[in-house]
Amino acid sequence: MKLRTRLLVTFLIIVALPIILTSVAYSILKIATKQNIRENYGVENVSMSLIANPVEGFSDLTDAEYEELQTVAQIAPEQFSNNSFLEHTNQMLLERASCLVIVQDGTILYNGGRLSDEICEILSGAPNVADFGKQGHYLDGLEVLIKQVDYVTADGGQARAYIVTTVRNFVSAGLLWAIGLFVLVVLVATGLFLTRWIRTGVFVPLSELNMAMQHIADGDFDYVIEAKGKGNGEISCLYENYNQMRLRLKESAEEKIQADRQNRELISNISHDLKTPITSIKGYVEGIMDGVADTPEKMDRYIKTIYNKANDMNRLINELTIYSGIDSNRIPYNFHKLNVADYFNDCVEEVGLDLESKNIRLNYTNMVSPDTVVIADPEQMKRVINNIVGNSVKYMNKPDGEIDIRILDELDSVRVEIEDNGKGVSAKEIGHIFERFYRTDASRNSSQGGSGIGLSIVKKIIEDHGGYIWATSKENEGTCMHFVLRKYVENTETVQ
């Protein structure tokens, strides 16, 4: 559930529950009050006015008896001396929680309700009818309502008939305590439920996320938190974002570990590859200094060897420079429109001289039209050709070495194939040769050294030119490198 929805539900419960409880309590009190009035005052149809204004309601309960007593007082006052009349009238009043009291000259002649002495004392000295009329007078402290009817006795004396109504509590204290306890229990239970609900839905997940983040801070990227039962709310999104962050951090950490390992391997490879030509140069220089090269021919051979070893060192340093720009995309490019035939003719001529000195035959075939043009950096493309050819030479294991360079036309692109008849690459290794630091000769010997980044540089350069490269090979038969470059097509519009 979304956090917003959870808060909205909590708000609605907090607002609605007291209203519902108040309505329930009101209904219970209303029902209990009506039942109490029915049982104690004999009223079947209990109106809200009776509940809202009980004094006025109780006054209305005895209006009929009061009118009857007024009529008797005017027509037949002698009835007030008739015990049968008094008992009959009192019995009717008792059904209304009332009673009849007759007072003459301050003396109570009839007490139909066994009233307390305090009430009797008040009635004995009660004021005139102006105060105790039809509406009656409520004695607050004694909780009684008194109506007064004056009449004249047979001997001409003044007497009074009182209707005394007991105003009882409509609802018992026990019921009020029960309702209060019920409301309290419901509110406490609801509060506990909402607290647990918010804790389970918000604080527990946040605690889990805090623990998970602590694992991240400790470098543990394998701690997974499941979003089971969390729905599609904000907490679930946090869980998902954490897991995605964890995977990315784990991937970054693994990449960093791999990069550190590769850098250490690169330093080791470069150190090994530099050590070999430096040792050779040092040996030949010492030979010259010691006079070993005592003939012009030997001196010339020593100097050429020193020159070739220096070129090997320069090539390794250039590869290292190019490698440093691969990840940051800082390989310098200077693109030009190159005529394919002219450019590869020059490259083959340059490469051919070097291969000839190594007794490797070079075959060149150009199948594209003379006007075919590509967009490329001539220096970087030359590095591609030299790295591939250099790789072929490095792994040439036959005395009659041969390298074929073919330029093929493929409609909107040009495919270059460089094939040798060297020792080849196994099927399980062919898919890895373009990876950085991958070397098929894991043993590293002096004749087949290398940093392991040559072909990865080639792949990067070709892809930066918008092309792609792959290799095919058979063990002990040779390897063929294929790369494709898009042709340049000049946009021309004919003006009508």
Residue where the block lists tokens 């105790």: 132
Q: 401 vs 3, which has greater pLDDT?
A: 401
| Dist. CA 15–CA 53, nearest whole Å | 30
Q: pLDDT of 79-93, one tens digit each?
A: 988 999 999 998 988
Three-state SS for 324?
Answer: helix
**pLDDT, position 406:** 96
Q: pLDDT of 386-436, one tens digit each?
A: 889 988 998 888 888 999 999 999 989 999 999 999 999 988 888 888 887
**pLDDT, position 441:** 57
Which amino acid, one-letter code, is at 291?
Answer: G
Give the DSSP letter string of 139-201: ETTTTEEEEEEEEE-TTS-EEEEEEEEE---SS-HHHHHHHHHHHHHHHHHHHHHHHHHHIII
| Dist. CA 79–CA 73, nearest whole Å | 8
**pLDDT, position 443:** 43
Three-state SS for 121?
Answer: helix
Beta-strand pair 402-410/361-366: parallel
H or E element: which one contains 85?
Answer: helix 83-94
**pLDDT, position 421:** 92
Instruction: Please say whether the beta carbons of 81 and 154 come within 8 A.
Output: yes
Q: Bridge partners of 369? A: none
Residues in Cβ contact with 315 at an 8 Å cutoff, skipping those fewer than 6 apart: 390
Q: What is the mean pLDDT of the chain?
A: 81
CA separation, residue 274 to residues 237, 311, 373 (Å): 53, 11, 39
Which of the four pLDDT bands, split at 50, 70 and 90, describes residue 145? confident
CA separation, residue 115 to residues 43, 142, 191, 484 (Å): 23, 11, 50, 121
This model's pTM is above 0.95? no
Give the pLDDT mean for 455-464: 90
CA separation, residue 117 to residues 113, 147, 314 (Å): 12, 18, 130
> Does pLDDT of 128 surpass 80?
no
H or E element: which one contains 104?
Answer: strand 98-104
**pLDDT, position 284:** 86
Identify the DSSP state of 414.
E
| Dist. CA 4–CA 48, nearest whole Å | 43
Instruction: Please say whether the beta carbons of 13 and 194 come within 8 A.
Output: yes
**pLDDT, position 136:** 72
Residues in Cβ contact with 394 at an 8 Å cutoff, skipping those fewer than 6 apart: 448, 450
Q: pLDDT of 22-67, one tens digit each?
A: 888 778 877 877 777 666 666 666 666 556 556 666 677 788 888 8
Q: Output the furthest CA–CA distance in the chain (Å, rounded).
A: 180
| Dist. CA 395–CA 425, nearest whole Å | 10
Q: Hey, what domains does the chain have and what are their CATH numbers?
A: 3-48+173-206 (no CATH), 53-166 (3.30.450.20), 221-324 (1.10.287.130), 334-486 (3.30.565.10)
Give the pLDDT mean for 225-248: 77
| Dist. CA 480–CA 402, nearest whole Å | 12
Which of the four pLDDT bands, split at 50, 70 and 90, describes residue 313? confident
Q: 250 vs 58, which has greater pLDDT?
A: 250
Q: What percent of the chain has pLDDT over 90?
A: 21
Q: Bridge partners of 239? A: none
| Dist. CA 185–CA 187, nearest whole Å | 6
**pLDDT, position 494:** 41
Give the DSSP letter string of 201-266: IIIHHHHHHHHHHHHHHTT--------TT-TTSHHHHHHHHHHHHHHHHHHHHHHHHHHHHHHHHH
* From 76-90, 91-105, 428-442, 446-460, the region with the lowest mean pLDDT: 446-460
**pLDDT, position 129:** 40
> Does pLDDT of 479 surpass 90?
yes
- 28: closest CA among 20, 40, 39? 20
**pLDDT, position 3:** 66
Give the DSSP letter string of 263-285: HHHHHHHHHHHHHHHHHHHHHHH
Which of the four pLDDT bands, split at 50, 70 and 90, describes residue 229? low
Which of the four pLDDT bands, split at 50, 70 and 90, describes residue 231? low
| Dist. CA 116–CA 141, nearest whole Å | 13
- 62: closest CA among 167, 154, 182, 212? 167
> Does pLDDT of 135 surpass 90?
no
**pLDDT, position 367:** 94
Q: Bridge partners of 289? A: none
**pLDDT, position 232:** 60
- 418: closest CA among 408, 430, 403, 431? 403
| Dist. CA 153–CA 263, nearest whole Å | 131
